[in-house]
Amino acid sequence: MKLLIWGYQMNNEIHESVLDMIQTLELDGHDVSVMDKFAENLNISDSVVTVQSDKIPSDIEFLIAIGGDGTLLSAAHAVMVRPIPILGVNLGSLGFLTGLERQWKQGLKDILSGHYHVENRMVLNCVIRHQDGSEDQFWALNDIVIERRDNFSMLPIRVDVNDDYLNTYLADGLIISTPTGSTAYSLSAGGPIMDPILEAIIITPISPHTLSVRPIVIPESKRIYLQLPNPENEGRIHIDGRESREITSSDRIRVRTSSYKIQLVSWSGATFYKKLRTKLHWGSRNS
């Protein structure tokens, strides 16, 4: 198979794991390359084939993202318009998106022997339309977050679903999340956990002023329109925690389900429900 190893972080554990993985894969007859900036960080550029992050060959069969969920998100954005499956190897902290953990060897061997399945994960499309008619367009695998910019006052955010007014949230911000992102920022803000293969959109307020305001889950077919209703309001919009833009009351924001899907490789030994039990310590008792 033709494989590309992707990453950004560098520490001794990652360095040793990447070298071990390259050796293991090449001995098994696989064609292995490494993302150029990752190879530079690991100081192995002279000994491996490198690939630029914006010039990924179309014949790559698997992209192996080594790090944590943030690393996998960066890989997802790199292949957003291409159906290249991503296998995440968690050498970070939580790793809800990754398919393998630190003891990756047996799982990787099973996967490359064909014992795996690919999950198509929903992606959100976000368009910011400015007063002059120009637009910015983004895609998010996890979430789109609107927060106050640089003050401590509550931020009012008007939300319409299709042509139906939902609410004007008075809160620290608002999270629009996919089911994949339900275990990220949305969960920290009190949002529901959803099976990531579902297709729906979660709207979760961040520290709302009114206690009766709760997260809501809407069908993936709906379109969400957001606006800061007061002229003096200023905020920031964050896409998967990677890109951000300042927004004002003159901006109109539309969020909908994208036609793109991100393909995540899943190993039979690492199901979503097993991850929930393990990573959230469900069923364990503190002494």
Domains of the chain from N-terminus onward: 2-116+267-279 (3.40.50.10330), 123-260 (2.60.200.30)
Q: Which of 99, 96, 64 is nearest to 79 (CA)?
A: 64
What is each CA distance from 82 to 55, 113, 259, 260, 261, in whole angstroms?
12, 23, 12, 8, 9
Question: Six-digit token pair at 218?
Answer: 């809407």
H or E element in which residue 274 lies: helix 272-279
Per-residue pLDDT of the chain (287 residues; tens, 9 = 90+): 999 999 988 889 999 999 999 999 999 999 999 999 999 999 999 999 999 998 999 899 999 999 989 999 999 999 998 889 999 999 977 788 988 888 898 889 999 888 899 999 999 999 999 999 999 999 999 999 999 887 778 999 999 999 999 999 999 999 999 999 999 999 999 999 999 999 999 999 999 998 899 999 999 999 999 999 999 889 999 999 999 999 999 999 999 999 999 999 988 767 889 888 988 888 876 64
Strand locations in the chain, DSSP E? 2-6, 31-35, 50-51, 62-67, 86-90, 117-129, 135-140, 143-148, 155-161, 164-171, 173-177, 200-206, 216-219, 224-227, 234-239, 243-248, 252-266
132 has catalytic annotation? no
Question: Six-digit token pair at 219?
Answer: 């069908």
pTM of the model: 0.92
Q: Phi-psi region for residue 95, left (φ > 0), alpha (ψ -120 to 50) or beta?
A: left
Which residue in 46, 54, 69, 150 is the catalytic one?
69
Q: Which of 7, 105, 15 is nearest to 53 (CA)?
A: 7
Strand partners, 274: none
**Cβ-count burial of 240 within 10 angstroms (0-12 exposed, 13-18 middle, 19+ buried)?**
buried
Q: Write a three-state SS string for 53-99.
A: CCCCCCCCCEEEEEECHHHHHHHHHHCCCCCCCEEEEECCCCCCCCC
Strand partners, 32: 3
